[in-house]
Amino acid sequence: MAYLFTSESVSEGHPDKVADQISDALIDNFLAFDAESKVACETLVTTGQVILAGEVKSSTYLDVQQIAREVIKKIGYTKSEYMFDADSCGILSAIHEQSADINQGVDRASKEEQGAGDQGMMFGYATNETENYMPLALDLSHALLIELANLRRENNEIKYLRPDAKSQVTLEYSDDNKPQRIDAIVISTQHDDFAPEAEMLAKIKSDLISILIPRIKAKYPQYAHLFNDQITYHINPTGKFVIGGPHGDTGLTGRKIIVDTYGGKGAHGGGAFSGKDPSKVDRSAAYATRHIAKNLVAAGLCDEVLVQVSYAIGVAKPTSINVVTYGTSKVNLTDGEISKVVENVFDMRPYFIEQRLKLRNPIYSETAAYGHMGRKPETVTKTFQLPNGSPKTVTVELFTWEKLDFVDKVKTAFGI
C-alpha cells in the first residue's frame, strides 16, 4: 500500500538559523587565525538582541560583535521595522575559556590519539532516490526556500518578501519505496504588510504557485514529473506573517538538527553541529558517517544505508560502528559483516576524520543554512579580518564529506 512521507526546511532568516549562522561564523573566524582553536559557541537571538555564550581555547582575539552584525546583514535583517536590525541590535558576549577538564581529554602528546570531544552516537544516511543521495522530501524542501531567498534578493518578480520562511513537502511513495508524486507543499513566508489581509494572502499564494514553483521545476528538471495538478498547497496557512524573525520567535543554536541532516529519514544521535569545532564528534563524526554512507551507496553496495558510530569522551577509538542496509545490500554479507569491513576502510578516530575531511579549516558558515548534507563540494577563497589587523585570505574545500573519493576503495574492499 502506498504511503506518505514528509520533511521540512527553514530559511536562512529563520531565528534558529540566524543563531546557527552566527555561531558558525565565529567558528570560521577562530579557525582562520588559529587552526587548533577549540570552540563551543551558542547564540540566542530575540527582539533587538543577540547573546553569545560558550567556551573557547584559542590564540586569537576576535571582534565577535562585528562578526555577528555582518552575518545578520548578509541574511537580510537590515530594516528597523523588522525589530531586529544588523546595525542597531544589541550584542552581549558571555564567551569564556574552555574547561581544562574537557581539554585534557581531547589533546594528546600524539595527535593521532586525540580523544573524542564528547561521548555520544552519530548517524550518517544515504539513499539513491536522488542524484545527491539525499531523501527527496528534504531536498525539495531546501530547494523551495533557496529559490524563495533568491526571489527575495532579486526583489523583482516578488517585492514583499522578508527573510523568515519555512517549507514542508509531503511525498507519496509506492509499495517498493519509490517516490511517485508530491502530495502536499506547505510554505510560510514572512512578508511586508502591503494590503488588507485577505488580499495579501491571495496575492502571496498566487505568486508562490505561479512564480516559485515553475522556477523550481525549471531549475530541478529531474523533479518536474513529481509536480501535478492535485498537489495541496498550504501557503501562509495561519494568515498574515508580517511579524517574524527573531522578533516573532526567539532563536537558538542547534534547534534544527533534523533540517540540518536527513529530514527525519534514517536516525539522529541528538547532537547539534553549529558552533562546534571539529574536535566535537557531534559534528565531525556526523560528517564522517555521511561520507561513509554516500560512498557505500554510490559504490553500488546498497540502495539505502544508515551508518552509526559512537564514542567515549577522551577516547580515540569508537566504541561501535554499525551499518544498516535496510535489506538493500547487493553483496553476500550480513550488515554486521559489512560493518567490520567499513571499520577497516574508514579510520573513525577523531584526528583521522579531521585530516581526511580537512575539517580544521574555516568551512562552516556555508553549512549553517539549507542543510549540512547533500551539498555540492567546491573550492572557494574566503577573506577574514582581525581587529586592527590585516586581512587574511584562505582557499578551502567546502563539504568535503560529500565527495565520492572512496568509491573505488569500497568496491575493492567488497569485491564489487
Q: What is the pLDDT of residues 252-303, one digit of tens each?
A: 999 999 999 999 999 999 999 999 999 999 999 999 999 999 999 999 999 9
Question: 404, exposed or middle or buried, with CB in 10 Å at 0-12, 13-18, 19+?
Answer: middle
CB atoms near residue 299 (< 10 Å): 20
Q: Which three cell numbers stand for residue 188?
A: 510560510
CA gyration radius, the chain: 22
Q: Is 355 helix (H, G, I), strand (E, B) or coil?
A: helix
In whole angstroms, what is the distance from residue 44 CA to residue 95 CA?
13
Binding residues for Mg(2+): 16
Q: For 128-205, where are the E strands, in sequence order?
A: 161-173, 179-191
Looking at domain 120-128+280-414, which of 3.90.700.10, 3.30.300.10, 3.40.50.720, 3.40.50.2300 is its CATH number?
3.30.300.10
Q: What is the 3-state secondary structure (H, E, C) of 197-229?
A: HHHHHHHHHHHHHHHHHHHHHHHCHHHHHHCCC
Domain 3-9+135-244 and domain 120-128+280-414 have a common topology: yes
- Of residues 399, 381, 372, 397, the one with CA closest to residue 122: 372
82 phi and psi angles, rounded to 5 deg = -75, -15
Q: For 11-58, where are the E strands, in sequence order?
A: 38-46, 49-57
What DSSP character marks residue 155? T
Contacts of residue 291, defined as CB under 8 A and 6 or more positions apart, other chains included, come to 124, 346, 356, 357, 400, 401, 402, 403, 406
186 phi and psi angles, rounded to 5 deg = -115, 130
Note the pLDDT of residue 360.
97
Binding residues for ATP: 14, 164-166, 240-241, 249, 255-256, 272, 276
Note the pLDDT of residue 388.
80
Binding residues: 14, 16, 42, 55, 98, 164-166, 240-241, 249, 255-256, 272, 276, 280
Q: Is 121 helix (H, G, I), strand (E, B) or coil?
A: strand
Q: Is 36 helix (H, G, I), strand (E, B) or coil?
A: coil
Binding residues for L-methionine: 55, 98, 249, 280
The class that CATH gives domain 3-9+135-244 is alpha beta
The parts of the chain modelled with pLDDT lower than 50 are: none
Q: In Å, how far are 61, 73, 138, 190, 198 from 368, measured between CA atoms?
A: 23, 15, 16, 20, 35
Q: Where are the domains of the chain?
A: 3-9+135-244, 120-128+280-414
Binding residues for K(+): 42
Bridge partner list, 93: 52
What DSSP character marks residue 1? -
Q: Is 89 helix (H, G, I), strand (E, B) or coil?
A: coil
**Run of H or E residues at 31:** helix 15-33
Note the pLDDT of residue 105.
54
Note the pLDDT of residue 101.
54
Cell numbers 534514517 label which residue? 266
Query: Helices 281-298 & 350-357, crossing angle to 10 degrees?
Result: 60
Q: For 47-89, where are the E strands, in sequence order?
A: 49-57
In whole angstroms, what is the distance from residue 70 CA to residue 78 CA?
10
Q: What is the 3-state secondary structure (H, E, C) of 260-309?
A: HCCCCCCCCCCCCCCCECCCCHHHHHHHHHHHHHHHHHHCCCCCEEEEEE
**Run of H or E residues at 313:** none
